[in-house]
Structure 1
Amino acid sequence: MNCSPIRSRLQRVALVGGAIATTSFSLLFPVGSRAVNAALQNSPKTVLDEVWQIVNRDYVDDSFNQVNWSEVRKELLSRDYTSRQQAYAAIRRALSQLNDPYTRFLDPEQFEALTDQTAGELSGIGLQLSLDERTQEIEALETIPNSPALRAGLQSGDRILEIDGQRTRGMDVERAAGLIRGEVGTSVTLKVQRGVETPFELTLVRSRIELPTVSYTIRQEEQARIGYIQLDEFNAHAAEQMYRALQDLNGENVDAFVLDLRGNPGGLLNISVEIARMWIDRGTIVSTVDRRGQNETIEATGMAMTDRPLAVLVDKNSASASEILAGALQDNGRGTIIGTQTFGKALVQAVNSLSDGSGLAVTIAHYYTPKGTDINKTGISPDITVQLTVEQEFQLTLEPQIRGTQFDPFYARAIDVLQTSTPVAAN
């Protein structure tokens, strides 16, 4: 996605997940207007002071990890910076004193990647690429639903020989993907070879594509119809996609559900709440406490879409917003949590855009499960633990298609629980 590096609005987002881009995140993104002038854009110290001001105003620990934050500002502004990179390095050194891995500075490229991720959209043709290490050729790996690539008939295994006339042999995947991405409405021409057929050219118009984060299917397990839902992250489209999944599965009269949160790093706080409300009719979803000790409790709204039995699959990489959802389901007795201890991130970040297109994620609150449990650094303990052997872990990694089937030990255990503890198998 190509965006202007200078944004005319200050964005402030709230995340609930692990570490941004590397583990998990939990976000809040309120938006407020802010004028940006050329003089500020050209001063490295401007961004530096913006970061200091945001941390000073919002950081969850008003002692700043016992650091004299005012002295930090004096030190930062007393130096001369000949480039933005020098200022960025100084910002990161200052933030490291907080000893908080989730409060972090994002350069413009990192900030753009994060906003794209949380938006759940991309600008392009919707084609995932891979590199054949043997032939050094770029290949089509998968097309995204409702994308120009899918409509054009591109298939897995198609070799992309050229992109706008540039030969791709020996090119890395990142470079090829960068050539294919671009502004909505612009076009890109690919030279494609399928098998041993004669190469052909396709010209595709880039568009805005909603990325699927919810996938679902119906599994027939003995006499029970199981709605299996996999939720990959809590981006801006996850709630509407979950709503559609539940609508469709309810229409198919499934007997029970398996909700798979394994590997889900988190995402937007409000989206995790929206999705929790689809499963929980009454009760607390989550509570947050800010630096002033102010407590906000978020409740269900009596709008649950189903009361069918539910099993929830989690693992060590289920983090932040995933833990909010799993904790709400567990504490309200709405679902059986199955798997391994989760990641353990109970902190909420706000993500702020800065005047030069960079961004700052800053921890603004601590969250607790409905029963008041602090899961930070400990995670959620499943109701039923599933430990995989090395061979089983390898198989799930090597054969992702078995996830959510009886060859998947997590899913198989969930089916055992649903069939023995509920009357679904007798329907």
Structure 2
Amino acid sequence: MPRIWRQIGRGLLALCVLVTLAVGVGVATHFREVEQGVKTYALLRFQALQPISTDKLMEGAIRGMVEALDDPYSTYLDAETYRKLQESVTGSYGGVGLLITLDEKDKRVVVVSPFKGTPAQRAGIKSGDYITAIDGRDTTGMDLETASNLMQGEPGTRVELTILSAGDSNPRKVALTREIIKVPTVDGRMLPGHPGVGYISVTMFNEQTGADLGRELNDLRQQGMQKLILDLRNNPGGALPAAVDVASYFVPQGPVVYIADQKTSEPLMARGYAQPLPLVVLVNKGSASAAEIVAGAIKDTKSGTLVGETTFGKGIVQTIFPLPGDAAVKITTHKYLTPGKHDINKKGITPDYVVPMDPQLEQQVLAHAPDLERDVQLQKALEVLGK
């Protein structure tokens, strides 16, 4: 008998939470929907053949509320997924080195870009490839966090991805061994045969990127750098503050980006690091999110020239809200506008000089960048700097 009363008590508590939530958000007029929710809870809790805990039902309710936004970038993060997301932003994690998104038309998992020097890049996975299955599990309708979580794991373990490339009719299976993925930031050098020209590749934006870039710029200046090529190709983005930091080395005092919600827009200002020099920025369809913030700021302020292909077009910002129990929800809360108030979401940024590159050649040259012999976009950047 006590066990029955405990179940009833927990059930009543959960019902009170549901009803209180409904009243609290002003949905008193939706009595039928509230009634459906309460009845569904009772049926699942006490009539389903497979027993389920109140905790699981409440987690499912939270997931369902977030999924109701119909936004591939908004999701519920359980404690483990939230921990892994924090690792990827702050340092390193075990995985294969892919940034992914959802194709908005058919809701399939698609690669934004592989990280340089990772198992995914070495296996030939490239921007625009679809991931149709992970370890045999169909990704149709799968949310981004679940897909990322399935690909991450202990270094040395294996994961099999089923990949469908554009123009191919049959998918291929790619077996990858997970490694410690040290989230890449900055790599730079002086270009041989081109006196005074420095080259810096920024491959992602995390908490260390701004400081790493500052050190690299100082080092190259000491080596005689007078002009710079900044390579943001296949840069999937990352932390917004890091993007503002990076842009601040190149754009003058003023807005780097405007962050807008439904009612207002607020400028995020350059931090005053800029030491102007002739600058060309390389971009492509794998340049996304924070990389587009930097590219857009440089283009709109005329601090440099963009060369390459139109960028990915992710002009929205997600905010992570921690929940009790070490979980969190990630919700799209804002969009961003370039300093010229351009909304680039689903449009991307068109460079000043559009230089297409064959996808297979692009994969090869970016794996060994800077490739002065075969990289036509880099060659165009040098031509522009020469002018």
TM-score, length-normalised on structure 1? 0.59
The answer for the alignment partner of 1:369 in structure 2 is 338
1:21-40 alignment, distance < 5 Å: none
Q: Which residue of 2 aligns with 1:298?
A: 268
Query: Aligned equivalents of 1:44 and 1:258: distance in 2?
Result: 61
Q: Indicate the residue corresponding to 2:277 in structure 1.
A: 308
Kindly state the Cα deviation for residue 312 of structure 1 after the two structures are TM-superposed. 0.7
Q: Which residue in the other structure is 1:355 paired with?
A: 324
**1:403 to 2:372 alignment:** no
Matched, 1:220 2:192: yes
1:288-317: CA deviations, max 9, x gaps?
A: 1223x122112224331x311111111112
The residue matched to 1:278 in structure 2 has which SS?
A: coil
8 Å CA contact 1:45–1:77 kept in 2: the answer is: no
2:243 is matched with: 272
Alignment partner, residue 259 of structure 2:
288
Whether the 8 Å CA contact 1:345–1:376 is kept in 2: the answer is yes
Matches within 5 A, 1:124-273: 177=155, 211-222=183-194, 224-273=195-244
Deviation at 1:351, TM superposition (A): 0.8
Distance (whole Å) between structure 1 residues aligned to residue 310 and residue 183 of structure 2: 28
8 Å CA contact retained: 1:239, 1:274:
yes
What is the distance in 1 between the residues matched to 2:382 and 2:253? 26
Name the SS for the 2:306 alignment partner. Answer: strand
Distance 1:319 1:128 in 2: 19
Mapped to 2, the partners of 1:105 and 1:70 lie a distance apart of: 26
Q: CA deviation at 1:382?
A: 0.9
Question: Following the alignment from structure 1 to structure 2, what is the Cα–Cα distance between the partners of residues 69 and 335?
Answer: 54
- Cα shift at 1:405: 2.0
Instruction: Determine the structure 1 residue equivalent to 2:114.
Output: none
1:94 shift after superposition: 2.8
Aligned amino acid, residue 418 of structure 1: L
% identity of equivalent residues: 32
Query: Cα offset for 1:97?
Result: 2.4
* Structure 2 unaligned blocks of 5 or more: 1-11, 46-51, 98-116, 119-150, 158-179
Structure 1's unaligned 5+ residue stretches are 1-42, 57-67, 130-141, 144-172, 180-207, 421-427
Secondary structure (helix, strand or coil) at the match of 1:230 reads: strand
Distance (Å, rounded) in 2 between the aligned partners of 1:359 and 1:93: 14
Residue type matched to 2:306 in 1?
Answer: I
Equivalent residue number for residue 335 of structure 1: 304
> How is 1:22-171 mapped onto 2 (pairs within 5 angstroms)?
79-80=40-41, 82-83=52-53, 86-121=57-92
SS in 1 for 2:64: helix
2:379 is aligned with what amino acid? Answer: A
1:398 positional shift: 4.2
Amino acid at match of 2:248: R
Instruction: Provide the residue aligned with 1:63 in structure 2.
Output: none
* Matched position secondary structure for 1:350: strand
| Secondary structure of 1:266's aligned partner | coil
CA RMSD after TM alignment: 3.7
Tell me by how many angstroms 1:396 deviates: 3.6
TM, length-normalised to structure 2? 0.64
Instruction: Give how far 1:274 is off.
Output: 1.1
Asked whether the equivalents of residues 96 and 181 of structure 2 are also in contact (C-alpha less than 8 Å), the reply is no
Cα contact 1:261–1:318 (8 A) shared by 2: yes
